[in-house]
Amino acid sequence: MQNSRSKPCSCPSLKLREVASMYLTVVAAFLVILVVALQGSAPRESHFPYKVPLDPQGLLELSWNVSYPEQAVHFQLLVRELQFGLLFGMSDRGEMENADLAVLWSDGHNSYFGDAWSDAKGQLHMDSQQDYQLLGARRAPEGLYLLFRRAFSTCDPKDYLIEDGTVHLIYGILEKPVHSLQAINISALHGGLQRVQLLKPNISIPELPSDVKSMEITAPDVVIPSQETTYWCYMAELPEGFPKHHIIMYEPVVTAGNEALVHHMEVFQCAAEFDSFPHYNGPCDSKMKPDRLNYCRHVLAAWAMGAQAFYYPEEAGLAFGGPGSSRYLRLEIHYHNPLVFKGRRDSSGIRLYYTATLRPYDAGIMELGLVYSPVMAIPPGEDSFTLTGYCTDKCTQLALPAAGIRIFASQLHTHLAGREVVTVLSRDGRERQVVNADRHYSPHFQEIRMLKEVVAVFPGDELITTCTYNTEDRSRATVGGFGILEEMCVNYVHYYPQSQLELCKSAVDPGYLHRYFSLVNRFNDEEICMCPQVSVPQQFYSIPWNTFNRDVLKSLYGFAPISVHCNKSSAVRFP
């Protein structure tokens, strides 16, 4: 099975396990007859604070809560139009194969519920250990509610290990009765996937001050284009002479009925060096979009499907307004419309809560990881290739205040080949703490996540960000850069008090990369053009990717000296 399967944990002794396994197999063989005739009201919403639509039509709605003392997730699945059952579960990347599943099915007379798994061919098997525990089922006017529980980690090699970061949830709807679990053909099901962060941090929500105000940055009456993916841009502006305030919280505003279409949203502040920005309300990739909008890149707020409201710590807020701050904001909405609905209208966006009573500290955002440069590249056909960016001890020594900074949130970012991102804090040459890790990272699901615990970073500490990529579907090298088919490795960390350090990243020393090209040239029959006028990407594209050239590149990135960018917000480097 895959690396997401449960890792070793404290298990019963073997004899007891055999007995337990035999007992559970008997239970599984008889199955659990599910009584769905129970009438009654829906469970209280407050018990399940997190909610996400699973399918684009909103027929399946998942709510959940997390119990850290029990180390378990409680799920509530609302099925609006139940036919003959459904599959719900988790897998490494959202595949139906090698998946860990809870299955509800009907033979036309009785309904059954069980914990199952699918093999590499997609065949379903009843699990000998029933770890999806059915807690109840009830009918309500809006549909059938299923309640079940699942521990984060089980001692079952067939089970998915629920950990921090992104989880790929999968579902399938049974449209015909089936006489047994094995008779279900998962490839023929109407199904799909939804990405969420299941293990939300258990942090207390700060009280809002009495003078809090709110403003909505929403795109007015957009007709969602009838295509699968749209990025929509809308320009908004703050009132003339708007003084400095602190943003202390924000939340999504999603038009009712469009919950399954609004995938994620971000509000960016524009660069202060321009006095004005043109109005715009249209697709972000349109030729009609004014170029100046590309200078609106400073993130004020970011939300993704399944995320709750975002709160700043009581002692800090994100400054906006006042001198040296642009009045212009750009809202970007990602619509995901796989069923290609036509004529849907939307006025979604983000509601900012702000106060004129400034908190003790301004919050800041710092970029960690790799410099956007083609010197960092991934060969084609790699299933797992890692690149690492360093925010070095020299940079933090020079740029951070003596009392250090506190990181409270983080947003990980790569382009399409990214599969895993991890940032660790190192002190005195030893790894001390994981700042943020997403082992099932998806470039299609990026949100600012509040950390379970605040991370203190002091001058002389090192922040190391490692990204893992998959380029199995590519035939030429993927270089670093801004293009969607180029790659990035970034962690935007949110911290306080704000310092002058805005970017702390690295890349391999270009001189050592030049030596790599010379070496490859010497050992290869094909000539790689290394004339000065040939760009680094072109040199990478001309390399024949045999094992030797791949291994030497890995070694180069592992051991060669690095070039460090330790930049102030003005893009000027610290000396």
pLDDT tops 80 at residue 494: yes
Question: What 3-state DSSP class applies to 46?
Answer: helix
The pLDDT value given to residue 5:
56
The pLDDT value given to residue 36:
38
Closest CA relative to residue 204, chosen from 452, 573, 571, 418: 452
The pLDDT value given to residue 9:
55
pLDDT tops 70 at residue 11: no
Question: What 3-state DSSP class applies to 544?
Answer: coil
Name all domains of the chain by residue range, CATH numbers in brackets. 50-196 (2.60.40.1210), 203-359 (2.60.120.310), 364-574 (2.60.120.230)
Residue that has been written with the tokens 């890149």 in this structure: 297
Based on the residue annotation, tell me whether 231 is a catalytic residue of this protein: yes
Question: What 3-state DSSP class applies to 471?
Answer: coil
- The pTM score is 0.86
135-178 residue pLDDT tens: 999 999 999 999 999 999 999 999 999 999 999 999 999 999 99
pLDDT tops 90 at residue 26: no
User: How crowded is residue 79: how many other Cβ atoms within 10 Å of its Cβ?
Assistant: 23
- What is the arrangement of strands in the sheet containing 449-457, beginning at the earlier edge strand? 449-457, 405-413, 490-496, 364-370, 501-508, 562-568
Residue among 231, 280, 295, 541 flagged as catalytic? 231
The pLDDT value given to residue 46:
56
What is the distance between the alpha carbons of residues 305 and 113, in angstroms, rounded to a whole number?
28
Closest CA relative to residue 87, chosen from 125, 57, 51, 58: 125
Burial of 138: CB neighbours in 10 Å, binned 0-12, 13-18, 19+ = middle
Mean pLDDT (whole number) for 91-101: 96
The pLDDT value given to residue 299:
85
pLDDT above 70: percentage of residues in the chain = 90
Burial of 360: CB neighbours in 10 Å, binned 0-12, 13-18, 19+ = exposed
User: Which structure tokens are listed for 487?
Assistant: 């790659």
The pLDDT value given to residue 152:
97
Instruction: Please answer whether residues 330 and 239 qualify as being in contact, where contact means their C-beta atoms are separated by less than 8 angstroms.
Output: no
The pLDDT value given to residue 392:
97
The pLDDT value given to residue 530:
61
pLDDT tops 70 at residue 22: no
The pLDDT value given to residue 21:
38
pLDDT above 90: percentage of residues in the chain = 76
pLDDT tops 70 at residue 528: no
Instruction: Please answer whether residues 159 and 57 qualify as being in contact, where contact means their C-beta atoms are separated by less than 8 angstroms.
Output: no
335-383 residue pLDDT tens: 989 889 999 999 999 999 999 999 999 999 999 999 999 999 999 999 9
Residue among 125, 413, 444, 514 flagged as catalytic? 413
The pLDDT value given to residue 362:
96
Based on the residue annotation, tell me whether 263 is a catalytic residue of this protein: no
| Parallel, antiparallel or unpaired: strands 143-151 and 72-79 | antiparallel
